[in-house]
Amino acid sequence: MKKTAIIIDDERLARAELRKMLSDYPEVEILGEAANADEALVLIPELNPDLIFLDIQMPVKTGFELLEELDKVPSVIFTTAFNDFAIKAFEVNALDYLLKPIDPKRLSDAIQKLLLLDEKDIHAADGRYESRHILTESDQVFVKDGEKCWFVKLSEIRLFESVGNYARVFFSTNKPLILKSLNSLEERLDTRIFFRANRKHIVNLRMIEKVEPFFNGGLLLEIKGGEKIEVSRRQAVRFKEMMSL
């Protein structure tokens, strides 16, 4: 199946060179180019590519700052001249990173990684409009907390916790803070998977290991990471309706 891509780089010659190299790969269709992060923020939701080739150091906003502003992140192959910076700045969840000038063999390896991705992880053409509004569990999001960065599938996130105007994201052994309110997250999450347990928590229903009766008609959920989350009495009624046949 053909994969779609956007090239994001402030250097016109770098974009042209990469496009020329990609012409050897008919399985990758270049949908467009962006010369900076702001252009990319328009193109990515509009074209919904499977992949972005992303430069890190760009004027005004870096590649990482661009990713922070995206609600849904495509697969990412970084293209950068800064080897040490790239390795230090993100963990290996990105599909790949290529050092400029790009080596043809390294590009070939990166394309093979893209083509080997499980089909369920690729954004299907059908329902693209809807996917801009509701994030599915197979979508991945970019999470940045200080110098640490992650690409995380929503299916791997077990819990969101409100911390003022921020939200703490629980996945694996990590609990970074992101500058998003719980209410804004709730609007984007699939309610079939993510449940608003109370004023402070949204839980991944697939991550619940145990349900117990709790004080005043509520429920107590035990999540896979060991967290125990109270479900308010009102939400307990809704939870029982959702989980019953």
Mean pLDDT of the chain: 86
For residue 170, pLDDT beyond 90: yes
> Would you place residue 133 in the very low, low, confident or very high pLDDT band (cuts 50, 70, 90)?
low
For residue 122, pLDDT beyond 80: no
Identify the H or E element spanning 72: none
> Would you place residue 148 in the very low, low, confident or very high pLDDT band (cuts 50, 70, 90)?
confident
Residue range 135-154: average pLDDT?
84
The CATH homologous superfamily for domain 3-130 is Response regulator (3.40.50.2300)
| pLDDT: which is higher, 143 or 132 | 143
Query: How high is the pLDDT of residue 129?
Result: 33
**One-letter amino acid identity for 100?**
K
Residue range 210-220: average pLDDT?
91
Q: What whole-number percentage of the chain has pLDDT above 90?
A: 57
pLDDT, one tens digit per residue, over 65-99 is 898 888 888 989 999 887 665 554 454 467 888 88
Q: What whole-number percentage of the chain has pLDDT above 70?
A: 88
Q: What is the largest CA-CA distance in the chain?
A: 66
Query: How high is the pLDDT of residue 149?
Result: 83
Classify domain 138-243 by CATH number. 2.40.50.1020
Residue range 141-150: average pLDDT?
82
CB 221 within 8 A of CB 197: yes
Handedness of CA 143, 93, 87, 67 (dihedral sign): negative
pTM above 0.75? no
Rg (CA), the chain: 20
Rounded to whole angstroms, the Cα distance separating 136 from 194 reads 10
Lowest mean pLDDT among 51-65, 125-139, 188-202, 228-242: 125-139
For residue 160, pLDDT beyond 50: yes
Query: How high is the pLDDT of residue 244?
Result: 78
Cα dist from 158 to 87, 147, 204, 224, whole Å: 27, 23, 5, 8
Residue range 206-224: average pLDDT?
93
**One-letter amino acid identity for 183?**
N
Other C-beta atoms closer than 10 Å to the C-beta of 168 total 18
Query: How high is the pLDDT of residue 145?
Result: 83
Structure tokens at 183: 């209410």
Tokens 């029982």 locate to 240
pLDDT, one tens digit per residue, over 30-75 is 999 999 999 999 999 999 999 999 998 999 999 988 988 888 889 8
- As annotated, the residues of the chain forming the CATH 2.40.50.1020 domain(s) are 138-243
- As annotated, the residues of the chain forming the CATH 3.40.50.2300 domain(s) are 3-130
| pLDDT: which is higher, 119 or 208 | 208
Structure tokens at 143: 């999470």
CB 2 within 8 A of CB 45: no
